[in-house]
């Protein structure tokens, strides 16, 4: 009899515990959704909003809207339905891409294809989200032009402050009359880590293209294993961007036309000034200044963009290696270029087309580059002795000299 008396309170307790778990799961999901969208907008590149939001203990629905901060070139709308459980929330919906000021739907209006479907799972205890999206094959034909895309897959995962994206795109082909360009398959891996409100962040993107082919009656080019890596870091002091490109091998007529690598780094862009530029851009977007043309927008942002140069940015050519076995040419180059960040009040961006203003900007440039194992044909082209093997390029106040000589006129 005593056991029977305990069963009912135990069942009631378990029921209340389950209901509390459902309520907490719904609350945590909504909180993380709002924080994630807020951080995405804080990056400064997008306008992010939600509409038709309906929350509940068992399920939630809504629409997420993404668009460029200024302009109406495109809009991405993600519908979602979230089914809440005590430990997990499962989401699914459609991804609708709209184009132009009339918001025409890419899938349905412009393309005879249904919107891509996406799905995801949110884990309540760990705060992590994992999901994916499948891109269907499509074919677009316009007179003699045709675009064929074989489809692809996107997978995303992460948590507050740390997100990863992996995209695998099947081959696509663009044909224009007798000329054609084929690219892929391709893989993109992206990692984005940030502090609250994206005050500081690190983003790394790795793109690999397995093959690329260009065809026309007079020329055929084939490239394989092209790789590009971009790393961007914004910390308390500066923005740094590094780009690495590996050209793989480019073939034509059965021979290797070109191989090569490139590594560049841009650094010492003032972080506070860039954050001020982003803040001003958001203010303009929020106030409805979407009708500003490029010149007016530049005038609004100019003070902050100019101040981003106050720490004297530098561009480092860390490595440039190009080889052409077919032509018997090669290049090995490194060096740095500096910008003088003093007396910035003398500079304007809105007047950059004025030759006098362009001269002011050029006079801020100093640097030096070295080309090792200089090909004889390049020495002949520059009017240097034919036995020259090292080319020293010096930039002083915007004036370029090669091996202590003024740069000759290269085109007549």
- DSSP conformational letter for 403: T
Determine the longest span between alpha carbons in the chain, in angstroms. Answer: 109
**Residue 247 scores a pLDDT above 80:** yes
pLDDT value at residue 173: 93
pLDDT value at residue 144: 82
Say if residues 120 and 78 touch (Cβ distance below 8 Å): no
pLDDT value at residue 358: 93
Q: What is the mean pLDDT of residues 296-304?
A: 86
pLDDT value at residue 8: 54
Split at pLDDT 50, 70, 90, the class of 1 is very low
Q: What is the mean pLDDT of residues 280-295?
A: 70
pTM: 0.84
The CA–CA distances, whole Å, from 279 to 75, 234, 291, 322 equal: 21, 15, 18, 41
> How much of the chain exceeds pLDDT 90, in percent?
40
Helix (H) or strand (E) holding 390: strand 390-396
pLDDT digits (tens, 9 = 90+) for 81-110: 988 877 788 989 988 888 766 666 767 666
pLDDT value at residue 78: 87
d(CA 227, CA 256): 18
pLDDT digits (tens, 9 = 90+) for 13-64: 555 555 555 666 677 778 888 888 887 777 777 788 888 888 777 778 888 8
Q: Is the peptide bond before 157 cis (omega within 30 degrees of 0)?
A: no
d(CA 227, CA 243): 11
The CA–CA distances, whole Å, from 18 to 21, 77, 333 equal: 5, 34, 66
DSSP for 157-203, please give it: EEETTEEEEEEEE--EEEEETTEEEEE--EEEEEEEEE-GGGSSEEE
- DSSP conformational letter for 37: H
SS3 134: strand
pLDDT value at residue 279: 86
- DSSP conformational letter for 409: P
Q: What is the mean pLDDT of residues 123-146?
A: 84
Length of the chain: 412
Encode 216-250: b = buried (16+ Cβ within 10 Å), e = exposed: eeeeebbbeebebbebbbbeeebbbbbbbbbbbbb
**Residue 167 scores a pLDDT above 90:** yes
DSSP for 53-64, please give it: EE--SSEEEEEE
Can you name the residues that pair with 391 across neighbouring β-strands? Answer: 371
> How much of the chain exceeds pLDDT 70, in percent?
87
What is the average pLDDT score of the chain? 85
Can you name the residues that pair with 230 across neighbouring β-strands? Answer: 205, 243
Higher pLDDT, 123 or 245: 245
The CA–CA distances, whole Å, from 390 to 17, 75, 358 equal: 77, 52, 31
Say if residues 270 and 309 touch (Cβ distance below 8 Å): yes
**Residue 365 scores a pLDDT above 80:** yes
Residues 6+ apart with CB under 8 A from 269: 238, 239, 240, 308, 309, 311, 313
The tokens 């860390």 sit on which residue?
A: 318
Closest among 247, 254, 249 to 228, alpha carbons compared: 247
DSSP for 65-120, please give it: EEEESS--SEEEEEEEEEEE-SSEEEEEEEEEEEETTTTEETBTTTBSSPPPEEEE
DSSP for 248-301, please give it: EEEEETTEEEEEEEEEEEEEEEEHHHHHHHHHHHHHHHHTT-TT--HHHHHHHH
Structure token pair of residue 3: 């056991």
Split at pLDDT 50, 70, 90, the class of 11 is low
Closest among 282, 276, 268 to 235, alpha carbons compared: 268
pLDDT digits (tens, 9 = 90+) for 250-281: 998 889 999 999 999 999 999 999 999 888 88
């Amino acid at each position: 009899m005593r056991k029977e008396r305990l069963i009912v309170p135990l069942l009631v307790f378990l029921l209340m515990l389950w209901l509390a778990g459902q309520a907490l799961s719904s609350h945590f999901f909504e909180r993380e959704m709002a924080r994630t969208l807020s951080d995405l907008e804080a990056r400064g590149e997008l306008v992010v909003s939600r509409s038709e939001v309906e929350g509940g203990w068992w399920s939630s629905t809504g629409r997420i809207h993404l668009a460029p901060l200024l302009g109406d070139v495109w809009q991405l709308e993600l519908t979602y339905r979230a089914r809440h459980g005590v430990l997990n929330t499962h989401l699914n919906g459609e991804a609708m891409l709209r184009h132009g000021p009339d918001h025409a739907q890419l899938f349905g209006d412009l393309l005879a294809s249904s919107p891509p479907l996406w799905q995801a799972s949110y884990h309540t205890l760990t705060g992590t989200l994992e999901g994916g999206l499948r891109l269907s094959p499509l074919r677009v034909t316009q007179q003699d032009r045709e675009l064929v895309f074989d489809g692809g897959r996107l997978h995303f995962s992460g948590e507050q402050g740390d997100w990863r994206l992996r995209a695998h795109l099947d081959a696509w082909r663009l044909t224009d009359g007798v000329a054609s360009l084929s690219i892929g398959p391709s893989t993109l891996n992206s990692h984005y880590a940030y502090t609250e409100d994206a005050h500081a962040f690190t983003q790394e993107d790795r793109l690999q293209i397995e093959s690329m082919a260009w065809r026309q009656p007079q020329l055929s080019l084939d490239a394989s294993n092209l790789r590009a890596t971009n790393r961007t870091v914004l910390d308390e002091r500066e923005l740094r961007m590094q780009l690495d490109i590996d050209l793989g091998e480019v073939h034509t007529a059965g021979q290797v036309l070109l191989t090569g690598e490139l590594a560049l780094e841009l650094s010492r862009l003032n972080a506070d000034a860039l954050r001020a530029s982003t803040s001003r851009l958001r203010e303009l977007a929020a106030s409805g200044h979407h009708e500003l043309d490029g010149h007016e927008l530049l005038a609004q942002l100019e003070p902050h963009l100019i101040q981003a140069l106050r720490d004297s940015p530098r561009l480092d050519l860390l490595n440039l290696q190009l080889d052409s076995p077919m032509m018997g040419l090669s290049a090995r180059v490194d060096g740095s270029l500096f910008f003088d960040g003093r007396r910035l009040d003398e500079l304007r961006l809105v007047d950059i087309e004025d030759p006098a203003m362009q001269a002011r900007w050029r006079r801020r440039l100093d640097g030096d580059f070295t080309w090792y194992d200089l090909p004889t044909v390049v020495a002949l082209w520059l009017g240097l002795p034919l036995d020259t093997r090292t080319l020293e390029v010096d930039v002083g106040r915007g004036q370029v000299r090669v091996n202590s000589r003024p740069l000759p006129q290269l085109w007549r």
